[in-house]
């Protein structure tokens, strides 16, 4: 490709809107431009990188036995109501009406579509296992889009869904995805670590996130100094709670196996979903409780529920929480989480007849009176496992906390979706059984940013070879005819060998060409100048190390590897 023809609008200065390195460099290197908050256009160089990552992803997904499909972006509300997530997704989901007043959303994820697809098609155990995947644009109206494509409102995801007859099958499918993910990230030249994750709003059992460690990461990961424990702090927190949480009480313990999800919880507490505002995780003297603040006309109801069963609620981000509070009309109240705590504290003291978690899965205590039975003064935010804290797994190591970017996430969903949506297969005895599912995502566009976070210096990007938009850039210096001819010759012959080559044939000063080539991060630069040609060499620079070397002209093709 000739740079004189390439649509590559580079910027000399860091754009003011960009806070983190990858965002700055993606704009400066002309990979993308902003359309609107969290929404970007990818320019030729940027799109080449995306396609490289997609190709590597496809290869390993196909090798794992998964099959590529393409599912609808526009999804009916019915399937989301079937799975009971229409309300749960809340404002993250873009919802709209078509001309016939039918409700739709733009897919933030595709569990519903896949479950809907197979509930009509998969009949017998003989049709399973299956793994269906796609690479497609997802839409999430993120509360705080930021860091460029790292947290976009529109982004490209590879998502896959495994369908098995039983949990053994699911374990296998999950492991196959885990292995494929390791290969994908490694081949992209990325160092990603798998950590235990919370299952959050997806529901389900086991879950791992693949994290690229970087200061700009929005997730915190706890690593044990002694054993192999590595977990998202959200998860590490619930591990910790399971250990510390102790309720010594002579209250009536009621069996509440029906409370597994936020919907069931809301139903149980007789708080209509529409009235529910949000929940916040709090801890009173080491005892975990969760306050659910509700109410439409009067914001005066606070219920306590079993913390351990309320993982889904715990996903509430502080900012989101504040915003929700602030958006409630007539609520004279908390503007930050500390104040929320104070309010929650007061309300708790005046409340009776609450239900409180019994620190035992499927049990709650009834008629607990806060203030009387509960100490509520010392609320601390439960969500933070602290640096240097003891590891909950080996109990001898200390936890180190690092920031990470979640580039991939795998979940064992189990039968939550198939049961809610009626996706069954007939087993060997002709009996209907729910399909056992898993769900697996990779943030393709986020991965571009993560790769830059891991590979850059003060001059720009250093692309790992496998995902670089071009592998070689040729810089002819000056207008010397011999330089031009030789550069063209090298350009052609490297292309003929199958390399992806850029030639900077622009009428620009040498300094501009050098700067741009370093900014856009092409792994190998060949500088062709008249003096070096006289000596029968070209100057090469390896961008990953900025190492410079001279290559003999007659040896060039063999050297470029």
Helix (H) or strand (E) holding 198: none
Pairing of strands 301-305, 287-294: antiparallel
Q: Which is nearer to Mg ion, 177 or 343 (CB)?
A: 177
Q: Return the number of other C-beta atoms located less than 10 Å from residue 215's C-beta.
A: 11
Q: Is 486 in the site for ligand ATP (CB under 6 A)?
A: no
Region of residue 65 (left: phi > 0; alpha: psi -120 to 50; beta: else)? left
Smallest gap, in angstroms, from Cβ of residue 337 to ligand ATP? 19
Q: Which is nearer to ligand ATP, 212 or 494 (CB)?
A: 212
Q: Is 409 in the site for ligand ATP (CB under 6 A)?
A: yes
Q: Is 446 in the site for ligand ATP (CB under 6 A)?
A: yes
Smallest gap, in angstroms, from Cβ of residue 295 to ligand ATP? 28
Q: Which is nearer to ligand ATP, 363 or 440 (CB)?
A: 440
Q: Which is nearer to Mg ion, 92 or 556 (CB)?
A: 92
Q: Is 157 in the site for ligand ATP (CB under 6 A)?
A: yes
Q: Is 406 in the site for ligand ATP (CB under 6 A)?
A: yes
Q: Is 404 in the site for ligand ATP (CB under 6 A)?
A: no
State which of positions 111-140 bind ligand ATP (CB under 6 A): 140
Query: Which of ligand ATP, Mg ion, none does residue 155 bind to, with CB < 5 to 8 Å depending on kind?
Result: ligand ATP
Smallest gap, in angstroms, from Cβ of residue 340 to ligand ATP? 22
If we measure between CA atoms, which residue out of 225, 228, 221 comes closest to residue 397? 225
Per residue, the 3-state secondary structure of 360-385, as one string, reads: CCCEEEEEECECCCECCCCEECCCCC
Positive or negative, the Cα torsion across 233, 235, 236, 237? positive
Binding site residues, Mg ion, CB under 5 A: 406, 409
Smallest gap, in angstroms, from Cβ of residue 280 to Mg ion? 18
Peptide bond into 402 cis (omega under 30): no
Q: Which is nearer to Mg ion, 141 or 406 (CB)?
A: 406
Smallest gap, in angstroms, from Cβ of residue 519 to Mg ion? 31
Binding residue for ligand ATP, selected from 30, 129, 152, 523, defined by CB under 6 A: 152
- Residues 142, 358: Cα–Cα separation, whole Å: 34
Binding residue for ligand ATP, selected from 46, 203, 357, 441, defined by CB under 6 A: 441
State which of positions 374-393 bind ligand ATP (CB under 6 A): none
- Residues 230, 220: Cα–Cα separation, whole Å: 11
Produce one character per residue of 252-268: b if its CB has 16 or more CB atoms within 10 Å, e if not: eeeebeebebbbebbee
Smallest gap, in angstroms, from Cβ of residue 144 to Mg ion? 11
DSSP letter assigned to residue 65: T
- Residues 254, 210: Cα–Cα separation, whole Å: 39
Cα 229 to Cα 394, 399, 461, 494, distances in angstroms: 8, 9, 32, 47
Query: Which of ligand ATP, Mg ion, none does residue 486 bind to, with CB < 5 to 8 Å depending on kind?
Result: none
Query: Which of ligand ATP, Mg ion, none does residue 203 bind to, with CB < 5 to 8 Å depending on kind?
Result: none
Binding residue for ligand ATP, selected from 407, 472, 473, 537, defined by CB under 6 A: 407
Say how many Å lie between the first and final Cα of the chain, rounded. Answer: 19
Residues in the chain: 561
Q: For residue 109, what are its two tokens?
A: 């994820």
Q: Which is nearer to ligand ATP, 155 or 491 (CB)?
A: 155
Binding residue for ligand ATP, selected from 203, 404, 443, 469, defined by CB under 6 A: 443
Rule CB under 6 A: which residues touch ligand ATP? 109, 140, 142, 151-152, 155, 157, 406-409, 441, 443, 445-446
């Amino acid at each position: 490709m000739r740079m004189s023809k390439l649509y590559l609008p580079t910027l000399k200065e860091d754009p003011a809107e960009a806070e983190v390195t990858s965002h700055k460099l993606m704009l400066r290197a002309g990979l993308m431009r902003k359309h609107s908050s969290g929404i970007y256009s990818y320019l030729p160089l940027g799109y080449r990188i995306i396609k490289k990552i997609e190709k590597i992803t496809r290869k390993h997904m196909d090798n794992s036995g998964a099959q590529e499909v393409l599912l609808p972006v526009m999804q009916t509300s019915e399937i989301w109501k079937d799975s009971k997530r229409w309300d749960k997704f809340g404002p993250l989901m873009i919802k709209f009406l078509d001309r016939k007043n039918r409700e739709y959303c733009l897919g933030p994820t595709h569990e519903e579509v896949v479950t809907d697809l197979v509930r009509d098609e998969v009949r017998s155990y003989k049709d399973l296992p299956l793994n269906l995947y796609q690479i497609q644009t997802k839409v999430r109206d993120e509360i705080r889009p930021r860091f460029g494509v790292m947290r976009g409102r529109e982004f490209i995801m590879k998502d896959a869904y495994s369908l098995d007859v039983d949990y053994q099958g699911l374990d296998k499918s999950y492991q196959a995805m885990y292995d494929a993910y390791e290969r994908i990230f490694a081949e992209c030249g990325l160092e990603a670590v798998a950590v235990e994750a919370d299952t959050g709003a997806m529901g389900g059992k086991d879950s791992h996130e693949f994290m690229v460690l970087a200061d700009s990461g929005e997730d915190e990961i706890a690593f044990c100094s002694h054993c192999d424990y590595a977990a998202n702090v959200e998860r590490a927190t619930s591990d910790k709670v399971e250990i510390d949480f102790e309720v010594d009480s002579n209250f009536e313990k009621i069996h509440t196996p029906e409370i597994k999800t936020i919907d069931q919880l809301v139903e149980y507490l007789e708080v209509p979903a529409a009235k529910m505002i949000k929940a916040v995780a709090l801890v009173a003297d080491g005892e975990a409780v969760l306050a659910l603040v509700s109410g439409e006309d009067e914001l005066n109801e606070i219920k306590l529920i079993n913390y351990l069963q309320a993982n889904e609620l715990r996903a509430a981000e502080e900012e989101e929480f504040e915003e929700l509070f602030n958006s409630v009309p007539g609520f004279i109240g908390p503007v930050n989480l500390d104040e929320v705590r104070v309010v929650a504290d007061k309300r708790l003291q005046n409340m009776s007849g609450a239900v409180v978690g019994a620190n035992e899965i499927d049990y709650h205590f009834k008629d607990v009176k806060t203030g009387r039975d509960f100490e509520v003064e010392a609320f601390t935010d439960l969500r933070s496992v602290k640096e240097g804290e003891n590891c909950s797994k080996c109990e001898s190591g200390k936890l180190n906390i690092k920031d990470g970017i979640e580039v991939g996430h795998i979940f064992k969903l189990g039968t939550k979706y198939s049961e809610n949506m009626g996706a069954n297969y007939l087993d060997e005895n002709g009996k209907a059984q729910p399909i056992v599912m898993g769900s697996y995502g990779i943030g393709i566009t986020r991965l571009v940013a993560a790769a830059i976070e891991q590979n850059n210096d003060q001059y720009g990007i250093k692309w790992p070879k496998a995902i670089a938009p071009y592998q070689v850039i040729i810089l002819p210096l000056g207008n010397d005819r011999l330089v031009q001819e030789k550069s063209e010759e090298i350009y052609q012959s490297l292309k003929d060998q199958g390399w992806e080559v850029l030639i900077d044939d622009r009428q620009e000063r040498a300094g501009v060409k050098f700067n741009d080539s370093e900014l856009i991060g092409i792994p190998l630069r060949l500088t062709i100048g008249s003096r070096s040609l006289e000596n029968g060499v070209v100057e090469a620079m390896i961008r990953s190390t900025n190492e410079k070397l001279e290559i003999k002209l007659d040896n060039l093709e063999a050297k470029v590897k």
